[in-house]
Amino acid sequence: MTTAELIRRLRESFGPAIRSVAEPVAGKVRVAVAPEVVVRAAKALTQEYDARFLITAGIDSREERGCFDVDHIFSLDNDNIFVILRASVPGDSPKVAAITPEIPAAGWAERELQDLFGVKAEGHPDPRRLILPDDWPDGVYPLRKDVKYGDWPPVGDETTDAPYPFKQAPEGTSTVVVGPFFPVLEEPVQLRLFVDGERVVDCDYRGFYNHRGIEKMGDSELSYNEIPFIAERICGICGFIHSSCYCETAEEAMGFRAPRRARYIRGIMLELERLESHLLWTGIAGHILGFDTVLMQTWRMREPLMWLCEKISGNRKTYGMNIVGGVRRDIPKELHPDILGVVDKIEQEWSQLVNAVEGDTTLRARLVGVGMLPEATARAIAVVGPTARGSDLHIDARADHPYAAYDEVPAKVITHPGCDNWGRVLVRLLETLESVRWIREALKQMPDGPILSDEIPEEIPSGQWGACTIEAPRGEAIHYVLTGGDNRPARWRVRAPTYANLQALPSMIKNETIADVPITLGSMDPCFSCTERVEVINARSGESDVINHEELLARSRAATERLRRR
Amino acid sequence: MARTILEIALSLIILIGLAPLAEGLLRKLKAIVHSRQGPPVLQPYMDIAKLLVKEDLSTTDNWIWRMAPALCLGATMVLAVLTPLGGPPAFRMAGDVIVFIYFASLAAVAVILGGFASGNPYAYVGGSREMMMMLSVEPVMTVALAVGAIKAHALTFDGLMSSPAATSGSISMVVAGIAFLLALQAQAGKLPFDIAEADQEIMGGPFIERSGPGLALFRWAMHARLMIFTAVLVSVFVPWPIVENLGLSLVLTLAKMSIVLALVGVVDVVNPRLRIDQSMGYYARIVVFVSVGALALAIVGH
C-alpha cells in the first residue's frame, strides 16, 4: 500500500474528522484527526492496515496553538510507512480517550502521557502512576513547557504519603517482591510476584526509579548537535543506536540525509555494537543459568571486539562518533584488515558455541517451553527485536524501515517459531553470525566520499518533524523529533526497546516457577545489577508478613541497637 | 586406643582439613576451563580464615539460627570419623552405615533449619529446595549402601569392605556404585544441582543472611561433604586394588578420590543449573531404575 492510498481510504472512512494530512518525507504521514475519532482511527489502523503501535508522544503546544498534541505513532512494517495519528486536545482541560482498551501495547505510553503532560487518558484500564515517584505532588507535569529543566517540585503539604496502589495478591498466593534492585534487571525495578509455592500466578510492576529526564533536557537545555552525545548515554550497551537514531531523525526533520559513506560507517558501528551486545548477553544468560563457562568464554571472545572499537573510535563503548549530518571519524582502509580479523575470529568461535548450545540437553531442559510468548500475544503487546522474532514475528527495522546503509546492504531477518526462551536465545545466537556477514559485506561495498554532509541548513525552521526507528540489539528504538526555535528541538521523543518488551513480562512469567523468572527476564535482554530484598505475604494462612516502610525502619533500627549493645 | 586416636586425627585431617584444598583445586580446574587464571589453590583456606575473624551479623536471635553452623560442621566432623578411607572407619566401634546416613542427614537438616530460622524469604525458598533435594537424593545413596549391606550381610563399613561378596565386582555393586556417583554431585551441591543455593535466583538460599564465622563453618562443612562422600564411594564401590597395607591403601584411596573429584569438577563446569522439579525427576528415575534395580539384583544374588 502507498501512503496516497492509505490517506484516501482513511478519508473515506473518517471524512471531515480528518483535519489535516502532512507527508514531508515519503512514507512518513501525520494525520491529524478530531479527538473523538482517535480510538476508532487507531483501531482501524491496527486492524485493517496491520499497523503496529510504536509509541505515544505528548507535545505541549499551548503557546503556539493553545492545545496539547497527542501523537500516536504507528508503523506499517510491510509497506515501510510510519503513520502518526495526532489528536489535539484543549490546553485548559486536557483529556483524550485512551486507545489502550483497543490496543494493549499503548498501556505504558498513555500512563506516561498522564504522568508527564497531565493529559488524562480516559478509560485507561490501569491509570496508576508509571514514571513519577510516589511522593511527586499531583498537578506538576514535568514535560510541560512551564516546568523548567531543573525545577524541583514543592515538597511538604502537597507531598502525598499514600503508598503506591499495588495490586492485591490473589487468593491463595504469597507475594515475593523482587527489587527494586535485582540481578537480572538493567534498572532498579520492583516486581511483585504472586506465587503459589514456586509457581508464579500473577505479578505487578513498578519501575522508572532511574528516570533521568533526558527528553526534558533535549527540548530545553541542549542544542541539536549536543543531543547525540547525551543520546548515546541513554544506554550503556546500545548507546550508538540512540545517537544514530537521533541523528537520522533530526536529519530527516531538517530535510537531508547523511552522505553515503557516513551511513555505511554508522551501519558498521551499529553492527559492531550488536556483536558487543549479543556476546555480552549470551554470557549473562549463561550466568543466570549458573553456566559460568559460557559467561567466561563469550566475554573472552568479546574483548578483542572492544579493543577494535577503541581503535576505531577511541572508546571501547560510547563511541561519540555521531553528529547531525554524518560522523566525526572515518574508518580508513588501513583498519579494514583489523576489523575483518576480529569478526572472522568471532565467527569461527561463535559457530562452535552455537553448535555446543544447540546440542546441550540441560540448556534445552531449562529453556524450551519456558517463558512462553505466543505470537498473538507478542503482536498485541507489540514487543520488538529478538523478543518478537523469537515468537516468529517478522519484525526488524533494518529490513522494514531501512536506515543507515541497510537499503544498500540488506540484513537477513532471523526468526524462530519457538515463542519461548529457547527461541529468543537462538535468534540472538544466529543474529550474531548475520552481523559478522553484514560487516564484511558493508566493508566491501563502502563508497568513498565525505563523512559529513555539506547540506546542513544554516537556519532550521521550527515545526518540521521526523520519525525513525533503528534496530537495537534488544529491539527497535524510536526517535521522534520536532524542530523548534533556539537551535534545539521543540520535542524529542525516545522509546527504547525494553519499554515495549517489559510490558510482555507478566504474560511471559505467568505459570512459570520462581527459578525461571530470572532467565525469562534475561531472555528479553535487560541489563543486570544487584539484589536487595523481598517481602512475603502469606495469604494462605491469612498472616500478613508485609513489612511497611516504618516497620522496616523500626526493625532495622532495633537490629542496629542489638548489635550496638553486644 | 592410641591407634584409634591416630586414626581419628588422620580422618579429620584428610576429610576436614584438606577439604578446602580440594575445593581450591576444583576452582583451579574450573578456571582453566573458563580460560581464567583463577584464585590461588589455597584461597578457600584464606576465605575461611577471613570469615572466621569477621563480625557475625544476625537477623534474628533465634537459637536454632545461632546453633545451625556449629551443628552442621559438628555433624560433618562426626561423619568424617565414620567414613572409611581405604580401611575401616576410624570410629568404627561407634557407628555403622545407618549412623553414617543419620549424620549425613543431620548436617543437611542443620542447613535447612538454619535457613528457615533466618526469617529471610529467599532462605526459606532455599531451605525448602534443600529439603526436596535431600528427599530425592538420600534414597539413592541409602539404597546403594543397602546393596552393599545385603551382599556383605553386614551393616558396618569394615564388614562391607572386607566381605569378598561385596568386593568381587558383582553387577549389583557396580550399578549401585554408579547410582552413588550420580548422587554425589547433588550431595556436594555442585552444578547442575546447586539449586538450593542458586546464586542468580535466590542468592545463596539458606546462606543468604550468613556472614562471618557462621558462613565459614557452613562453607567448610560443604567442602568436607564432597570429600566424605567421595571417600565412601571409592572405599566401598571401587575397592580395587585390594591391598593389606593400610598406608598404601590410604594413598591409593586418595588417588582414586582425586580422579572422582576431577570428574565432579568437570561436570560442574560444563552444565547449567537445573530446576528443582527437573532435578527431583532425575533422581526419582535413578532411584526407580538404577538403585532399585541394583537392589533387586543383589537380592537375587548377582
Q: Return the C-alpha cell found at A546.
A: 508485609
Average pLDDT over residues B164-179: 82
Verify that A449 and A547 share a domain, yes or no: no
Check residue A339 and give its pLDDT. 96
Dump pLDDT digits (tens) for B229-246. 999 999 888 887 878 788
Check residue A530 and give its pLDDT. 20
Check residue B123 and give its pLDDT. 85
CATH number where A5 lies: 3.30.460.80
Check residue A542 and give its pLDDT. 34
Any A CB within 8 A of B124 CB: yes
Closest CA to B45 of B20, B22, B65: B20
Verify that A545 and A505 share a domain, yes or no: no
Verify that A419 and A305 share a domain, yes or no: yes
| Cα four-point dihedral sign A290, A294, A295, A297 | positive
Burial of A386-396, coded b for 16+ CB within 10 Å and e otherwise, reads: bbbbbbbbebb
In a domain, A239, yes or no: yes
Q: Of B61, B200, B203, which has the smallest distance from its Cβ to A290's Cβ? A: B200
Q: Cβ A363–B272 below 8 Å, yes or no?
A: yes
Residues of chain A neighbouring B274 (CB-CB closer than 8 A): 362, 365-366
> A131, A147, A170 — which closes off a domain?
A131
Any A CB within 8 A of B302 CB: no
In a domain, A244, yes or no: yes
Residue B135 pLDDT > 50: yes
Q: Give, for all 566 residues of chain A, the pLDDT tens digit.
A: 889 999 999 999 998 999 999 999 989 999 999 999 999 999 999 999 899 999 999 999 999 999 999 999 999 999 999 999 999 999 998 999 999 999 999 999 999 999 999 999 999 999 999 888 888 888 889 999 988 888 777 665 555 667 888 998 888 887 887 878 766 566 678 888 888 877 889 999 888 887 888 888 888 889 999 999 999 988 888 889 999 999 999 999 999 999 999 999 999 999 999 999 999 999 988 888 888 889 999 999 999 999 999 999 999 989 999 999 999 999 999 999 999 999 999 999 999 999 999 988 888 888 999 999 999 999 999 999 999 999 999 999 999 999 999 999 999 999 999 999 999 999 999 999 999 999 999 999 999 999 999 988 888 899 999 999 999 998 999 999 999 988 999 999 999 888 888 889 889 998 888 888 888 888 888 642 222 222 233 333 333 344 445 554 555 556 556 655 55
Lowest average pLDDT, out of A529-538, B124-133, B173-182, goes to A529-538
Q: Of A289, A297, A531, which has the smallest distance from its Cβ to B35's Cβ? A: A297
| Residue ranges covered by each domain of chain B | 2-299
Total tally of structural domains belonging to chain A: 3
Verify that A554 and A504 share a domain, yes or no: no
Residues of chain A neighbouring B269 (CB-CB closer than 8 A): 292-293
* Neighbour order of strands in the sheet with A18-25: A18-25, A28-33, A81-90, A67-76, A52-61
Please give the residue range of the domain that contains residue A426.
Answer: 214-453+464-523
Among chain A residues, the shortest Cα distance to B124 is held by: A536
Residues whose CB falls within 8 Å of the CB of residue A215, separated by 6 or more in sequence, listed in order? A143, A491, A492, A493, A494
Verify that A125 and A227 share a domain, yes or no: no
In a domain, A437, yes or no: yes
CATH number where A350 lies: 1.10.645.10
Verify that A545 and A423 share a domain, yes or no: no
Verify that A310 and A436 share a domain, yes or no: yes
Any A CB within 8 A of B122 CB: yes
Check residue A547 and give its pLDDT. 44
Verify that A98 and A234 share a domain, yes or no: no
**Interface probe, candidates B58, B61, B201, B279, chain A, greatest A C-beta count within 10 A:** B201
Residues of chain B neighbouring A516 (CB-CB closer than 8 A): 275
Check residue B118 and give its pLDDT. 86
In a domain, A165, yes or no: no
**Interface probe, candidates A292, A363, A422, A519, chain B, greatest B C-beta count within 10 A:** A292
Check residue A310 and give its pLDDT. 95
- Please tell me the distance from the alpha carbon of residue A550 to that of residue A292, in angstroms, as a whole number: 40
Query: ipTM more than 0.85?
Result: no
> A131, A159, A185 — which closes off a domain?
A131
- Please tell me the distance from the alpha carbon of residue A528 to that of residue A534, in angstroms, as a whole number: 17
Q: Could you tell me how far CA B237 lies from the centroid of its own chain?
A: 15
- Chain A residues in contact with chain B using a Cβ-Cβ cutoff of 8 Å: 176, 183-184, 198, 286-294, 296-297, 300, 360, 362-363, 365-366, 513-518, 531, 534-536, 559, 562-563
Dump pLDDT digits (tens) for A356-398. 999 888 888 889 999 999 999 999 999 999 999 999 999 999 9
Cis peptide before B192 (omega within 30 of 0): yes
In a domain, A170, yes or no: no
Angstrom distances, CA of residue A550 to CA of A163, A181, A546, A554, B60: 12, 20, 11, 6, 19
Residue B284 pLDDT > 90: no
Alpha-carbon Rg of chain A, whole angstroms? Answer: 24
CB-based contact A42:A68 (threshold 8 Å): no
Q: Of B195, B201, B272, which has the smallest distance from its Cβ to A286's Cβ? A: B272
Verify that A448 and A541 share a domain, yes or no: no
In a domain, A425, yes or no: yes
Verify that A510 and A559 share a domain, yes or no: no
Verify that A333 and A424 share a domain, yes or no: yes
Closest CA to A311 of A301, A324, A321, A299: A321
In a domain, A224, yes or no: yes
Dump pLDDT digits (tens) for B8-20. 899 999 999 999 9
Residues whose CB falls within 8 Å of the CB of residue A455, separated by 6 or more in sequence, listed in order? A256, A325
In a domain, A382, yes or no: yes
Among chain B residues, the shortest Cα distance to A366 is held by: B274
To the nearest whole Å, the CA of B273 is away from the closest chain A CA by 5
Q: Cβ B200–A289 below 8 Å, yes or no?
A: yes
Verify that A338 and A428 share a domain, yes or no: yes
Check residue A531 and give its pLDDT. 20
Residues whose CB falls within 8 Å of the CB of residue A289, separated by 6 or more in sequence, listed in order? A363, A366, A519, B200, B272, B273
Any A CB within 8 A of B276 CB: yes
